[in-house]
Amino acid sequence: MDLRRIRLGIEVGERLQWYEGLRISASGTKYANPLQNECNVTISGLNAQTRDYLLTETSPYNNNKQTRRLYLEVGRVNTGLLSLFIGDIVSAEIDSPPDVTLTLSAKTSHQSAGKIISSSGGTMRRLSEIALAIADDCGVKLDFQATDKNIANWYYCGSALHQIERLQEAGDVKAFIDDDTLFVKDDDKALKSRLRILNMNSGMIGIPKATESGLTVSYLIDSTSELGGMLRLESKLNPSLNGDYIIEQLAFSVASHEADFNYTAICKRA
First to last CA, the chain: 36
Which residues in 105-121 are b (16+ Cβ under 10 Å) and which e? bbbbbbbbbeeebebeb
User: Rounded distance, CA 129 to CA 150, Å?
Assistant: 10
User: Rounded distance, CA 159 to CA 89, Å?
Assistant: 18
Q: Which of 162, 164, 222 is nearest to 198 (CA)?
A: 222
pLDDT tens readout for residues 67-99: 789 999 999 888 889 999 999 998 889 887 777
Stronger pLDDT, 120 or 135, i.e. the higher one: 135
Beta strands in 121-257 (DSSP E): 124-126, 141-144, 150-152, 155-159, 173-178, 181-186, 195-199, 204-210, 214-220, 230-234, 243-255
> By three-state DSSP, how is residue 142 classified?
strand
Q: Which residues does 173 contact at the CB level (< 8 Å), separation at least 6?
A: 127, 146, 167, 184, 185, 186, 187
User: Rounded distance, CA 149 to CA 143, Å?
Assistant: 16
Which residues in 230-251 are b (16+ Cβ under 10 Å) and which e? bbebebeeeeebeeebbbbbbb
> By three-state DSSP, how is residue 127 classified?
helix
Kindly calculate the radius of gyration of the chain based on its CA atoms and give it in whole angstroms: 20
Q: What CATH number does the domain located at 113-186 have? A: 3.55.50.30
Q: Is the pLDDT of residue 133 over 90?
A: yes
Q: Which of 237, 227, 230 is nearest to 205 (CA)?
A: 237
Q: Is the pLDDT of residue 223 over 90?
A: no
Strand pairing class (150-152; 204-210):
unpaired
pLDDT band of 60, cuts 50, 70, 90: low
> By three-state DSSP, how is residue 270 classified?
coil
What is residue 96's DSSP assignment?
P
Query: DSSP readout, 49-93?
Result: HHHHHHHHHT-TT----S-EEEEEEEEETTTEEEEEEEEEEEEEE
What type of residue sits at position 97?
Answer: P
pLDDT tens readout for residues 161-214: 999 999 999 999 999 999 999 999 999 999 997 799 999 999 999 999 999 999
What does the pLDDT read at residue 1? 62
